[in-house]
Structure 1
């Protein structure tokens, strides 16, 4: 099989036509994740809560693919507000550690997100 669609059993499926992730060529490509919990509740108005939940969702999807966030090689973070950049960095270090050798490559973009209450969205590429 050239590619495999991945769906994390504990996460809701989007109404949009995309998989949680696709596994191909020894990598896992995780679609953008917002800060929803399993009950589709968003941490409204709380950037830190949304970012931590989005990263937890990424990790759950990676686990469903047989990987983990520790195997991330590239992360893209979409911020609704540039003002959240420093808090994002602090939380990022909580997840990925303080050793630069453990950090994946990263791009951070200020973007208009699909819903007005989204403060962050995260996508990731990891080793399978």
Structure 2
């Protein structure tokens, strides 16, 4: 199968060796996004801002790759603090709506993230 790489030049990029997204067949695999702002800085201690930024960047990545958040089949959310779970759900619904018939499958786990200021990281798989 053909593999297509997508790196949206309008998004902040970390120095990590990865692509924003890879399309293989009819699927787009989006790399994990922490809540970077436009200057590749993390809003320290601000879960809500980090969550909205990560979802905004996922949305922009999918659109750049010719897809959309409406075509997401699976979302993985990694939380640094279990205490942010309820707020995560509220913000999640800002992007995915409140109608369960439109929600993608999802896994949410508490995990130790690679940098101390990361409060979350989100990745997903979408249909092209």
Q: Same fold (TM over 0.5)?
A: yes
More divergent stretch after superposition (34-43 vs 70-79)? 34-43
- Number of aligned positions between the proteins: 128
> Is it true that 1:119 corresponds to 2:119 in the alignment?
yes
Aligned to 2:35: 35
TM value normalised by structure 2: 0.96
Q: Secondary structure at the match of 1:108?
A: strand
Q: 8 Å contact 2:13–2:40 — kept in the other structure?
A: no
Q: 8 Å contact 2:19–2:31 — kept in the other structure?
A: yes
Aligned to 2:90: 90
In the alignment, the residues of structure 1 paired with residue 37 and residue 7 of structure 2 have an alpha-carbon distance, to the nearest angstrom, of 15
In the alignment, the residues of structure 2 paired with residue 38 and residue 72 of structure 1 have an alpha-carbon distance, to the nearest angstrom, of 24
Spell out the pairing of 1:94-113 with structure 2 (5 A cutoff).
Answer: 94-113=94-113
In the alignment, the residues of structure 1 paired with residue 42 and residue 52 of structure 2 have an alpha-carbon distance, to the nearest angstrom, of 11
TM value normalised by structure 1: 0.96
Aligned to 2:69: 69
In the alignment, the residues of structure 1 paired with residue 67 and residue 123 of structure 2 have an alpha-carbon distance, to the nearest angstrom, of 15
Q: Secondary structure at the match of 1:114?
A: coil
Instruction: Report the RMSD for the aligned CA atoms in angstroms.
Output: 1.0
Q: Which runs of 5+ in 1 are unaligned?
A: none
In the alignment, the residues of structure 2 paired with residue 100 and residue 10 of structure 1 have an alpha-carbon distance, to the nearest angstrom, of 31
Q: 8 Å contact 2:51–2:88 — kept in the other structure?
A: yes
Q: Secondary structure at the match of 1:113?
A: coil
Q: Which runs of 5+ in 2 are unaligned?
A: none
